[in-house]
């Protein structure tokens, strides 16, 4: 199959959330399986610092009265062709910013559509989140190109239709009051990043106002669990952590805990219960629960806590203020730092994710991969990936709570704190998490089945072309 992934983010070049990890890993696995898979992303101003980009474009086009250029390169450490959408609106060194964000990404989606019509024609365009939501609408009357639309986070639904009609082409047959609503109606298949989230978005609690529409399209809605790149995230050879280790040499891991304590200014204490959190600081991630119980937890235990991330100014300020009350025990790092996040996964005893909702979540997978025991709310993809710890039967991989209540979160944290004293049982809990297989190979098989289920898709297998066949 010829598949073009269109996305605003891709690891390791441009990352804000989990969508980048999906687009950076899944195409590589699909290509290894013999499919001609390529990626189309914006040419952000910072990309030239991270990779070699040819000076000459391979194709030029026009969309929304704007001229643009497309450059071809390769996704780093892979053989996946990468197309960069070149336009001045993406020159600033940010991914998401400014009042023209809706316009910029609608232009980007339009450019991807023009490229698919006139340059390299895929059999399937795999669209990701609202930034690409108009592509299924535009492709509706192009039967030789099928579309798959993946919802990474339904809370972000893109611009309203009245705005789209001002800036771009909205066909007469288009339905839907915003970009996501239109995308899910016209895509041949709709996917979410976990089976549980696919069910939850059909309910008023998680449907973000689109629960009726999601129930209506249930026949083409698939929940496929995200994976992680097990080679890229591997504590046995990770160059960003001080001490490498694996499930058989777990005793070496304590060196990473000591190094992390030294790095952030904590008291070096191997027996202190060290909790980590790597997250966007937004309400979705359970920050409102954290603000209600963290002071109490820190005051009545000798735990240490490190937070890495950026987000809403309110949550940044509140967490910073709490940290000032616990010098040497709590650190708030308001930045994005992939290397530090890996050291947090490798050095903490437990990892916190008290999400209000979670489409899939990547952090809990990385935490288990590196031996940090997850403390999570049982929702969305967290249900599909973290199981209740049952110490009597030596089962489970983490500590879970169901109700979105501060007392329930506090109880789960205290349970983990108390269990940490029993080092033998804690080691076994860590090892069970590290042995979990969340590789992309398993998920890729599900994606292939889903692709092949699209009506009208050619049944002939397409060999990988060495060079793209572009229009002259």
Work out the mean pLDDT of the chain and round it to a whole number. 93
Q: Secondary structure of the chain: what % helix, strand, coil (to 5)?
A: 40, 20, 40
Name the residue with tokens 């089976």.
195
Mean pLDDT, residues 218-246: 93
Q: Residues with Cβ < 8 Å from 234, sequence gap 6 or more? A: 369
Q: Which CATH class is domain 2-227+439-452?
A: alpha beta
Q: Let me know: does 8 contact 19? Beta carbons within 8 Å.
A: yes
Q: Residues with Cβ < 8 Å from 292, sequence gap 6 or more? A: 406
**pLDDT, tens only, 424-466:** 999 999 999 999 999 999 899 999 999 999 998 876 655 565 4
Can you give the pLDDT at residue 466?
46
Strands 66-74 and 59-63: antiparallel
Q: State yes or no: pLDDT of 467 exceeds 60.
A: no
In sequence order, the β-bridge partners of residue 238 are: none
Q: How many CB atoms lie within 10 A of CB 43?
A: 22
**pLDDT, tens only, 7-36:** 999 989 998 888 998 999 999 999 999 999
3-state secondary structure of 373: strand
What's the residue count for the chain? 472
Task: Round to whole Å and give the CA distance between 142 and 289.
Answer: 48
Q: How many CB atoms lie within 10 A of CB 239?
A: 7
Can you give the pLDDT at residue 472?
38
**pLDDT, tens only, 89-119:** 999 988 998 889 999 999 999 999 999 999 9
Task: Round to whole Å and give the CA distance between 63 and 108.
Answer: 9
Q: Let me know: does 180 contact 158? Beta carbons within 8 Å.
A: yes
Q: Let me know: does 80 contact 36? Beta carbons within 8 Å.
A: no
DSSP 43-92: --TTHHHHS---SS-SEEEEETTEEEEEEEEE-TTS--EEEEEE-GGG-S
Q: State yes or no: pLDDT of 470 exceeds 80.
A: no
> Residue 3: which region, alpha, beta or left (left: phi > 0; alpha: psi -120 to 50)?
beta
**pLDDT, tens only, 372-395:** 999 999 999 999 999 999 888 889
What CATH number does domain 247-434 carry, 3.40.50.300, 3.90.180.10, 1.10.1470.10, 3.40.50.2000? Answer: 3.40.50.2000
Could you list the beta-strand ranges (E) of 295-410. 304-308, 330-333, 350-353, 373-377, 399-401
Quick one: what percent of the chain has pLDDT higher than 90?
A: 86
Can you give the pLDDT at residue 152?
94
Ranges of CATH 3.40.50.2000 domains, the chain:
2-227+439-452, 247-434
Q: How many CB atoms lie within 10 A of CB 393?
A: 7
Task: Round to whole Å and give the CA distance between 39 and 307.
Answer: 32
**pLDDT, tens only, 320-341:** 999 999 999 999 999 989 899 9
Quick one: what percent of the chain has pLDDT higher than 70?
A: 97
Task: Round to whole Å and give the CA distance between 115 and 120.
Answer: 6
Q: How many CB atoms lie within 10 A of CB 273?
A: 20
* Closest among 396, 388, 379, 381 to 430, alpha carbons compared: 396
Q: Which tokens hold the place of 22?
A: 């999906």
3-state secondary structure of 452: helix
**pLDDT, tens only, 264-309:** 999 999 999 999 999 989 999 999 999 999 999 999 999 999 999 9
Q: State yes or no: pLDDT of 262 exceeds 70.
A: yes
């Amino acid at each position: 199959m010829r598949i073009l992934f269109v996305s605003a983010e891709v690891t390791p070049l441009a990352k804000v959330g989990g969508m980048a990890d999906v687009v950076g890993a899944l195409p590589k696995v699909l290509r290894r399986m013999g499919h001609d898979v390529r990626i189309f992303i914006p040419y952000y101003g910072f990309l030239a610092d991270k990779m070699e980009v040819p000076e000459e474009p391979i194709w030029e086009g026009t969309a929304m009265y704007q001229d643009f250029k497309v450059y071809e390169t390769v996704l780093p450490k892979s053989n996946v062709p990468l197309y960069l959408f070149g336009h001045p609106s993406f020159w600033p060194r940010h991914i998401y910013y400014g009042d023209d964000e809706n316009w910029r990404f609608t232009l980007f989606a339009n450019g991807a559509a023009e490229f698919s019509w006139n340059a390299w024609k895929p059999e399937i365009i795999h669209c990701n989140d609202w930034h690409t939501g108009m592509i299924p609408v535009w492709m509706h009357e192009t039967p030789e190109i099928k579309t798959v639309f993946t919802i990474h986070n339904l809370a972000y639904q893109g611009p309203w239709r009245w705005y789209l009609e001002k800036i771009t082409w909205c066909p007469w047959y288009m339905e839907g009051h915003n970009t996501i609503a239109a995308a899910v109606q016209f895509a041949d298949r709709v996917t979410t990043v976990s089976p549980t989230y696919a069910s939850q978005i059909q309910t008023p609690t998680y449907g973000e106002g689109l629960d009726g529409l999601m129930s209506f399209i249930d026949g083409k809605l698939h929940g496929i669990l995200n994976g992680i790149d097990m080679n890229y995230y591997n504590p046995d050879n990770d160059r960003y952590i001080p001490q490498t280790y694996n499930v058989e040499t777990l005793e070496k891991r304590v060196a990473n805990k000591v190094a992390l304590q030294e790095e952030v200014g904590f008291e070096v204490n191997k027996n202190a219960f060290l909790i980590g959190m790597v997250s966007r600081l937004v309400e979705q991630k359970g920050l409102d629960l954290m603000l209600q119980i963290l002071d109490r937890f820190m005051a009545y235990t000798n735990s240490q806590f490190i937070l890495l991330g950026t987000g809403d100014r309110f949550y940044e300020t509140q967490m910073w203020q709490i940290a000032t009350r616990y010098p040497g025990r709590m650190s708030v790092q308001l930045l994005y730092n992939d290397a530090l996040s890996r050291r947090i996964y490798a050095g903490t005893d437990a990892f916190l994710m008290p999400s209000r909702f979670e489409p899939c979540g990547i952090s809990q997978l990385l935490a288990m991969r590196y031996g940090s025991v997850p403390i999570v709310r049982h929702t969305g993809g967290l249900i599909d990936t973290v199981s209740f710890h049952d110490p009597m039967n030596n089962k489970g991989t983490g500590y879970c709570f169901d109700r979105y209540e501060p007392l329930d979160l506090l109880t789960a944290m205290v349970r983990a704190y108390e269990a940490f004293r029993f080092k033998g049982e804690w080691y076994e809990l860590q090892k069970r998490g590290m042995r979990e297989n969340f590789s992309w190979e398993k998920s890729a098989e599900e994606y292939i089945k889903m692709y092949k289920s699209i009506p009208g898709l050619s049944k002939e297998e397409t060999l990988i072309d060495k060079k793209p066949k572009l229009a002259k």
